[in-house]
């Protein structure tokens, strides 16, 4: 069992809202509860070692993954926002056996949301107007608020992945959504917390599949880098509301806390994780430098644990920052890496030095 799969399993086992653990569909690639077997099946693609089925395990997981760890208060509404095993992924399961993988923006269930985003992108709608229309579609078009939120957040993140040049507009859109009034009939301000958005980020982050070579490999790398760029932009814009520091920590750990010669299938492909880590430094370096988020193992999981090169605090600290900067410096001159990766590492090293 891989490290991150173990962390996810233990953390979600502590969620009080977990219900049926045997009735949900199983991934064709991973064992029950989405925990990867001890030995990965032979495959022409690489998949991130986190649990692909985590969303089918957790019921009533309304808050983002990192927010859950920090024990933020849950949201009470008249219609419970709860991702039941029987309904979660019902819109996407037919698209891929990888339960985390989301369909392209042309997916039929995205149609009304996509039209709103297209108007936002061509400036036909302001971020506020687009937020209002997207919220209306979320509430009105599906059987439950649950379903509406799932499709809306998935659509937004797929757009961020496919159209990275529009990410700033998507950041403005989400910032506008948090100012909207609660949907009619709800007991709490649903939009203020954007429940489930962090979980969709978790899906996107875990959906990484890297082919052995060719265009599909580069497409997989680009998708992973783009979703990390979007998370970093949101974190930099409002680190309290969009508290996605854990994704940054995981990305840094996989990219920088193992030597090239000691990397294995658990750490992920360096040509995906190194540019993703560099993107966090480029887009949210100042916020990460000041971040003191801690994820101690006594919370039932160990998400902040370091890689082989780090045995210190299970979270952010100046010493860990220094290790990351040192590793970028070392990778910048590593002859085993391509010129492009070395240049990416060099620029990240320079940025970290300026922030230190």
- Using DSSP's 3-state secondary structure scheme, residue 289 falls into helix
Q: Which of 5-14, 68-77, 281-290 has the highest mean pLDDT?
A: 281-290
The answer, yes or no, to whether residue 23 has pLDDT greater than 60, is no
pLDDT higher at 36 or 353: 353
> What is the helix, strand, coil percentage profile of the chain, to 5?
55, 0, 45
Q: Which helix (H) or strand (E) holds 30?
A: none
pLDDT at 96: 53
State the pLDDT confidence band at 93, using cuts at 50, 70 and 90. low
The answer, yes or no, to whether residue 158 has pLDDT greater than 60, is yes
> Which residues have CB under 8 Å from 116's CB, separation 6+?
125, 130, 133, 134, 137
pLDDT at 227: 96
Model pTM score: 0.76
Tell me phi and psi for residue 33, to 5 degrees: 70, 15
pLDDT at 102: 81
What integer is the mean pLDDT of 304-325?
95
What integer is the mean pLDDT of 92-116?
76
Q: Which helix (H) or strand (E) holds 354?
A: helix 339-355
State the pLDDT confidence band at 266, using cuts at 50, 70 and 90. low
> pLDDT tens-digit profile of 163-220?
999 999 999 999 999 999 988 776 667 898 899 999 999 888 887 788 888 899 999 9
What integer is the mean pLDDT of 235-256?
95
> pLDDT tens-digit profile of 35-89?
222 222 223 344 444 433 333 333 233 333 444 334 333 333 333 333 333 344 5
Number of Cβ atoms within 10 Å of the Cβ of 311? 10
pLDDT at 91: 59
pLDDT at 145: 85
In the chain, where do the E strands start and end?
Answer: 45-47, 209-211
CA pair distance 280, 24, nearest whole angstrom: 35
Least confident of 5-19, 184-198, 222-236: 5-19
Instruction: Share the mean pLDDT of the chain.
Output: 76
The answer, yes or no, to whether residue 4 has pLDDT greater than 80, is no
pLDDT at 316: 97
């Amino acid at each position: 069992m891989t490290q991150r799969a173990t962390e996810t399993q233990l953390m979600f086992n502590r969620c009080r809202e977990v219900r049926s653990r045997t009735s949900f569909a199983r991934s064709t690639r991973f064992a029950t509860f989405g925990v990867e077997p001890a030995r990965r099946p032979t495959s022409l693609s690489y998949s991130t070692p986190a649990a692909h089925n985590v969303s089918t395990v957790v019921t009533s997981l309304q808050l983002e993954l990192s927010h859950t760890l920090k024990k933020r208060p849950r949201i009470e509404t008249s219609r419970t926002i709860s991702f039941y095993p029987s309904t979660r992924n019902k819109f996407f399961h037919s698209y891929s056996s990888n339960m985390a993988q989301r369909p392209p923006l042309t997916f039929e269930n995205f149609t009304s949301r996509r039209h709103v985003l297209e108007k936002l992108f061509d400036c036909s709608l302001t971020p506020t107007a687009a937020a209002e229309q997207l919220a209306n579609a979320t509430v009105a078009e599906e059987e439950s608020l649950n379903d509406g939120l799932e499709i809306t957040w998935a659509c937004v993140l797929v757009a961020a992945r496919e159209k990275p040049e529009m990410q700033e507009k998507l950041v403005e859109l989400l910032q506008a959504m948090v100012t909207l009034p609660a949907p009619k009939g709800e007991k709490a301000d649903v939009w203020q917390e954007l429940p489930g958005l962090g979980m969709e980020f978790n899906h996107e982050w875990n959906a990484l599949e890297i082919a052995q070579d060719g265009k599909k490999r580069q497409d997989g790398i680009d998708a992973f880098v783009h979703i990390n760029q979007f998370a970093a932009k949101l974190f930099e814009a409002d680190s309290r509301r969009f508290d996605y520091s854990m994704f940054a920590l995981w990305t840094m750990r996989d990219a920088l806390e193992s030597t090239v010669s000691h990397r294995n299938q658990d750490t992920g492909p360096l040509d995906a994780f190194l540019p993703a880590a560099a993107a966090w430094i480029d887009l949210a370096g100042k916020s990460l430098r000041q971040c003191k988020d801690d994820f101690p193992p006594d919370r039932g999981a160990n998400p902040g644990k370091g890689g082989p090169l780090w045995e210190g605090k299970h979270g952010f600290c100046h010493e860990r920052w220094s290790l990351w900067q040192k590793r970028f410096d070392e990778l910048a001159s590593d002859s085993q890496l391509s010129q492009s990766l070395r240049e990416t590492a060099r620029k990240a090293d320079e940025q970290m030095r300026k922030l230190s």
